[in-house]
Amino acid sequence: MDGRGCVDHTIFGACDRCDMLCILSCGACGVVPCLRSCSRRFGVVHLAGCLWPETVHMPSPRNFFWSHATHLLRRCGRQPDGVSSQRSLYSAAPIADLIAPPLGANFWGIGCSRRHRNLPAMENQVKGMMSGGLDVSDLKNANTVGGGVGDTFGEDAATEEQPFTPWARIVASGLELLRDPRYNKGLAFTEVERDRHYLRGLLPPTVISQELQVERILENVRSYQNPLEKYIALMDLQERNERLFYKVLIDHVEELLPIVYTPVVGEACQKYGNIFRRPHGLYISLKDRGHVLELLKNWPEKNVEVIVVTDGERILGLGDLGLNGMGIPIGKLALYTALGGVRPSSTLPIAIDVGTNNEALLKNPFYIGLRQRRTTGQEYDELLHEFMIACKQAYGEKVLIQFEDFANHNAFRLLQKYATTHLVFNDDIQGTAAVALAGLVAALPITGGTLADHKFLFLGAGEAGTGIAEIIALEVSKQAIRIPMKIRSGLYGTLCCSHQGKITVEEARKAIHLVDSKGLVTKSRYESLQEHKRPYAHEHPPAHDLLSAVKVLKPTVLIGTSGKGGTFTKEVLEEVSSYQDKPIIMALSNPTSQSECTAEEAYKYTKGKCIFASGSPFSPVTYEGKTYVIGQSNNCYIFPGMGLGCTISGAIRVHDDMFLAAAEALAKQINEEHLAKNQLYPAFNEIREISAHIGAAVAAKAYELGLATKLPQPKDLFAYAKSCMYSPNYRQYRKSLLPGATVPRPRL
CB of 45 within 8 A of CB of 52?
Answer: yes
**Separation CA 467–CA 173 (nearest Å):** 50
Exactly one of 185, 230, 332, 533 is catalytic; name it. Answer: 332
**Separation CA 646–CA 639 (nearest Å):** 10
**Separation CA 472–CA 710 (nearest Å):** 31
**Separation CA 129–CA 135 (nearest Å):** 11
For the question of residue 570 being annotated catalytic, the response is no
DSSP E strand stretches across 272-393: 282-285, 306-310, 347-353
Exactly one of 246, 261, 603, 681 is catalytic; name it. Answer: 261
CB of 611 within 8 A of CB of 581?
Answer: no
For the question of residue 626 being annotated catalytic, the response is no
Residues with Cβ within 8 Å of 339's Cβ and at least 6 positions away in sequence, in order, are 250, 253, 636, 640, 687, 688, 691
CB of 105 within 8 A of CB of 97?
Answer: no
**Strand, helix or coil for residue 64:** helix
Sign of CA dihedral 332, 333, 334, 335: positive
Reduced DSSP (H G I as helix, E B as strand, rest coil) percent helix, strand, coil of the chain, to 5: 45, 10, 45
The DSSP output letter for 615 is S
Cα 103 to Cα 26, 96, 108, 124, distances in angstroms = 15, 11, 9, 17
CB of 169 within 8 A of CB of 94?
Answer: no
**Separation CA 43–CA 608 (nearest Å):** 68
Residues with Cβ within 8 Å of 309's Cβ and at least 6 positions away in sequence, in order, are 329, 349, 350, 351, 352, 387, 401, 402, 403, 404
Q: What is the CA radius of gyration of the chain?
A: 30
Residues identified as active-site: 261, 332
